[in-house]
């Protein structure tokens, strides 16, 4: 195991004291279906076919799964559907057109309620508009938008046309946007003039202008939503206002049926090299699992629940649990544009109270932030509408889990800690709120229909009380189909580690406790998890060495109470570069923000004379992590030059 030793020992410490277990509350257990586990295990394909049939198919499927060309699976073979029709039109046809699909809450306090009938008209208009801009089935469209209704409408309009969207988080830099647009060869970008962030209107379109201006950019048109009304530069040939083009289109649109394996979206995520991976998801299997998990993991009652997932659509959680899962299920949901402390730290509790939110899905890093702000803040609000709480993105520490249970769930609401990844497309390991006895800090067991194992270095399953690597040993409907444009990397990254067994390698360490419940222990590769966001060490290193003052850089994720991991960078300056202390460090941090985005800014940058390397020249990040976490450095016998560590520590002096 190469798991960070502190992350592991911290979790193991928790395990040794963590004897608590909470039964499902009667209010949820009442109508639960405990037999679902056995049914799924007895006939997994029949089970998935049943889940798929909850969608509306324009053409029925034959085989449930074709795994003959592994690691490439095809699900619901020969079936045809339109994903947007499934997420919108069919609810209107079923008589739910008046049901609110989206309670949208803008950061400055503006709000909007969009029914399923409204959404149907808006998606139709956007689909016509995209067609007029030359988008057709099989194309790629980049979406770089804040959390406004047009973001959801734009994604669904692409789906309706059979074009794949590539949503790029609006916090990413122009450079990050440019490389993603280039990799996917997107012909249209949908963006906004600006976005509200912490009470300020900030420009967004400048980044798009910068990203698309280079020679050879595949982008033909930029569709711009007016959100803040701020000044923007305008290119008459290329730029089109959303309100001018979209709002005048017909509100009816005939939908085509696409194959179950029609690409639905590409979403970039960090891997172990500097180049982000374009994770490709397709239609039938993805939506089947997104909808099924959203229904069973949150015990969804679409007629009465108000659901709220606090993620951004720039991440997979926003794709599966704001757009496709909830809308395929005909749910009513809150979408909030802004930050949790604008105008003050009670914003989330105000929103829950205002819309009577019953299901709340958020990330451990935010829960720890709420803890820091103080339990007295949520205590002032009526949170009695809540009935199920969810967590996603990183291991949740038992303290945060208990705080969430007591202060937000008021000891009534079950907590579902959901493990999954951009690559898995939908939830894989999680309690079921009406069935599972939960333990604070454990994601518990694979959901019905999913098979996962923890294995040792040789790929053999480990026993209760033991740890190893998390693998998925059977194909699942919402699995990634490939890495866009790089199938070899797809095979290498996920399928080569346990090629003999044919297991999918998730990249996470995990452990079974004595009851066989699964505890996630963090990444075992060079991917950091900062506030639930995946950032590759290599990507930050490349950004640092692209600065003129830096000769070499090594980046590690060090344990951080608030963000899970914090980015710590060790840099060697170029000859001639002056280490003027804070000013240089500040410059380097800003440089990383410009290259990747503010979320990748190192928390600490340490200027060092040397880096610890093995004889083959590989940086020993493990030793740097020891230094960054203020502990005695571990086994350094494979270092090319053992005196390097002394040099580094001496140089850091009190700075350590």
- Shortest gap between Cβ of 510 and ligand WTA (angstroms)? 9
Tell me the CA distances in angstroms from 591 to 175, 320, 596, one per residue in order. 11, 32, 9
Q: Is 308 marked as binding a ligand? A: no
Which residue number, 103 or 265, has a Cβ lying nearer to ligand WTA?
Answer: 265
Q: Is 417 marked as binding a ligand? A: yes
Q: Is 419 marked as binding a ligand? A: yes
Strands 239-241 and 263-269 turn out to be: unpaired
The token duo for 503 is: 């297991």
Which residue number, 146 or 390, has a Cβ lying nearer to ligand WTA?
Answer: 390
Compute the distance between CA of residue 558 and CA of residue 3 in angstroms, rounded to an integer: 12
Q: Is 418 marked as binding a ligand? A: yes
- Shortest gap between Cβ of 403 and ligand WTA (angstroms)? 16
Which residue number, 129 or 506, has a Cβ lying nearer to ligand WTA?
Answer: 506
Question: Sign of torsion, CA 472 476 482 483?
Answer: negative
Q: Give helix 537-545 / helix 582-595 axis angle, nearest 10°.
A: 120
Q: Is 197 marked as binding a ligand? A: yes
- Shortest gap between Cβ of 77 and ligand WTA (angstroms)? 27
Which residue number, 262 or 365, has a Cβ lying nearer to ligand WTA?
Answer: 365
Q: Is 406 marked as binding a ligand? A: no
Compute the distance between CA of residue 200 and CA of residue 290 in angstroms, rounded to an integer: 34
Which residue number, 262 or 293, has a Cβ lying nearer to ligand WTA?
Answer: 293
Q: Is 111 marked as binding a ligand? A: no
- Shortest gap between Cβ of 379 and ligand WTA (angstroms)? 26
For residue 64, count CB atoms less than 10 angstroms from its CB and return exposed for 0-12, middle for 13-18, buried for 19 or more.
Answer: buried
Which residue number, 91 or 523, has a Cβ lying nearer to ligand WTA?
Answer: 523
Question: If we measure between CA atoms, which residue out of 318, 316, 298 comes closest to residue 307?
Answer: 298
- Shortest gap between Cβ of 317 and ligand WTA (angstroms)? 5
Question: Sign of torsion, CA 155 159 161 165?
Answer: positive
Q: What is the 3-state secondary structure (H, E, C) of 506-539?
A: EEEEEEECCCCCEEEEEECCCEEEECCEEEEHHH
Per the CB < 8 A criterion, the answer to whether 629 and 617 are in contact is no
Q: Is 341 marked as binding a ligand? A: yes
Tell me the CA distances in angstroms from 320 to 293, 362, 425, one per residue in order. 10, 14, 7
Q: Is 501 marked as binding a ligand? A: no
Q: Is 242 marked as binding a ligand? A: no
- Shortest gap between Cβ of 492 and ligand WTA (angstroms)? 17
Which residue number, 170 or 223, has a Cβ lying nearer to ligand WTA?
Answer: 170
Q: From its phi and psi, is residue 146 left (phi > 0), alpha (psi between -120 and 50) or beta?
A: beta
The DSSP code sequence of 17-74 is H----BPPPHHHHTT--TTHHHHHHH-HHHHHHHHHTTS--SB--S-SEEEEETTEEE
Q: Is 547 marked as binding a ligand? A: yes
Q: Is 394 marked as binding a ligand? A: yes
- Shortest gap between Cβ of 649 and ligand WTA (angstroms)? 30
Which residue number, 355 or 519, has a Cβ lying nearer to ligand WTA?
Answer: 519
- Shortest gap between Cβ of 393 and ligand WTA (angstroms)? 5
The binding site for ligand WTA (CB under 6 A) comprises 269, 315-317, 392-395, 417-422, 443, 506-508, 520, 523, 529, 534
Which residue number, 48 or 419, has a Cβ lying nearer to ligand WTA?
Answer: 419
The token duo for 476 is: 């699942």
- Shortest gap between Cβ of 529 and ligand WTA (angstroms)? 5
Which residues are 196's β-sheet partners?
201
Q: Rounded to 5 degrees, what are φ and ψ at 455?
A: -125, 160
Q: How far is CA 306 from the centre of its chain?
A: 22
Q: What residue numbers does the annotated binding site for Mg(2+) cover?
A: 545, 547, 550
Q: What residue numbers does the annotated binding site for CoA cover?
A: 197-200, 317, 341, 531
Q: What residue numbers does the annotated binding site for ATP cover?
A: 393-395, 417-422, 508, 523, 534
Q: What residue numbers does the annotated binding site cover?
A: 197-200, 317, 341, 393-395, 417-422, 508, 523, 531, 534, 545, 547, 550
């Amino acid at each position: 195991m190469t798991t960070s030793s502190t992350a592991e020992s911290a979790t193991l410490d928790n395990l040794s004291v963590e004897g608590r277990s909470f039964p499902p509350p009667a209010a949820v257990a009442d109508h639960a279906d405990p037999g679902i586990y056995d049914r799924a295990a007895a006939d997994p394909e029949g089970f998935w076919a049943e889940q798929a049939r909850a969608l509306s198919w324009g053409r029925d499927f034959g085989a449930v799964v074709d795994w003959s060309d592994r690691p490439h699976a095809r699900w619901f073979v020969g079936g045809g559907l339109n994903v947007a029709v499934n997420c919108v039109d069919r609810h209107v046809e079923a008589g739910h057109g008046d049901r609110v699909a989206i309670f949208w809450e803008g950061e400055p306090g503006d709000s909007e309620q969009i029914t399923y009938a409204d959404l149907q008209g808006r998606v139709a208009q956007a689909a016509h508009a995209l067609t007029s801009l030359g988008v057709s089935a099989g194309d790629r469209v980049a979406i770089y938008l804040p959390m406004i209704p047009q973001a959801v409408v734009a994604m669904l309009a692409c789906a309706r046309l059979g074009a794949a969207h590539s949503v790029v988080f609006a916090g990413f830099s122009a450079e990050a946007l440019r490389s993603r647009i280039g990799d996917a060869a997107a012909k249209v970008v949908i963006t906004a003039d600006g976005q509200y962030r912490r009470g300020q209107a900030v420009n967004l379109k400048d980044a798009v202008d910068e990203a698309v201006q280079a020679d050879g950019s595949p982008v033909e048109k930029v569709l711009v939503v007016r959100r803040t009304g701020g000044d923007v530069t305008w290119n008459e040939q290329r730029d089109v206002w959303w309100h001018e083009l979209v709002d005048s289109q017909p509100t009816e649109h005939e939908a085509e049926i696409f194959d179950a394996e029609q690409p639905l979206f590409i979403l970039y995520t960090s891997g172990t090299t500097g180049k982000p991976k374009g994770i490709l998801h397709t239609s039938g299997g993805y939506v089947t699992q997104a909808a099924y998990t959203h229904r069973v993991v949150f015990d969804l009652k679409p007629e009465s629940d108000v659901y709220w997932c606090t993620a951004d659509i720039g991440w997979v959680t926003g794709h599966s649990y704001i757009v496709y899962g909830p809308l395929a299920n005909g749910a009513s949901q809150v979408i909030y544009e802004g930050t949790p402390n604008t105008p003050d730290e009670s914003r989330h509790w105000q929103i829950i109270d205002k819309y009577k939110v019953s299901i709340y899905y958020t990330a451990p890093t935010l829960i720890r932030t709420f803890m820091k702000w103080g339990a007295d803040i949520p205590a002032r609000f009526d949170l009695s509408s809540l009935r199920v709480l969810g967590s996603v993105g990183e291991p949740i520490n038992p303290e945060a889990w208990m705080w969430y249970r007591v202060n937000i769930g008021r000891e009534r609401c079950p907590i579902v800690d959901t493990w999954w990844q951009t690559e898995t497309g939908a939830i894989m390991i999680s309690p079921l709120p009406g069935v599972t006895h939960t333990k604070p800090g454990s994601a518990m067991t694979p959901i019905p229909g999913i098979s996962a194992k923890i294995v040792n270095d040789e790929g053999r399953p480990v026993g209760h009380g033991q740890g190893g690597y998390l693998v998925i040993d059977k194909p699942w409907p919402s699995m990634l189909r490939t890495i866009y444009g790089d199938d070899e990397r797809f095979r290498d990254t996920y399928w080569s580690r346990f090629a003999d067994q044919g297991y999918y390698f998730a990249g996470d360490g995990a452990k079974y406790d004595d009851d066989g419940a699964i505890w996630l222990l963090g990444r075992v590769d060079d991917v950091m998890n900062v506030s639930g966001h995946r950032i590759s060490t290599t990507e930050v290193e490349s950004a640092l060495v692209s600065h003129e003052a830096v000769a070499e850089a090594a980046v590690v994720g060090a344990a951080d109470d608030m963000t899970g991991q914090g980015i710590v960078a060790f840099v060697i300056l170029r000859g001639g570069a002056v280490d003027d202390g804070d000013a240089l460090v500040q410059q380097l941090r800003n440089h990383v923000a410009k290259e990747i985005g503010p979320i990748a800014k190192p928390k600490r940058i340490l200027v060092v004379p040397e880096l610890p390397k093995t004889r083959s020249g590989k940086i020993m990040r493990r030793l740097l992590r020891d230094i960054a976490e203020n502990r005695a450095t571990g086994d350094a016998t494979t270092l090319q030059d053992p005196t390097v560590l002394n040099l580094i520590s001496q140089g850091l002096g009190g700075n350590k």
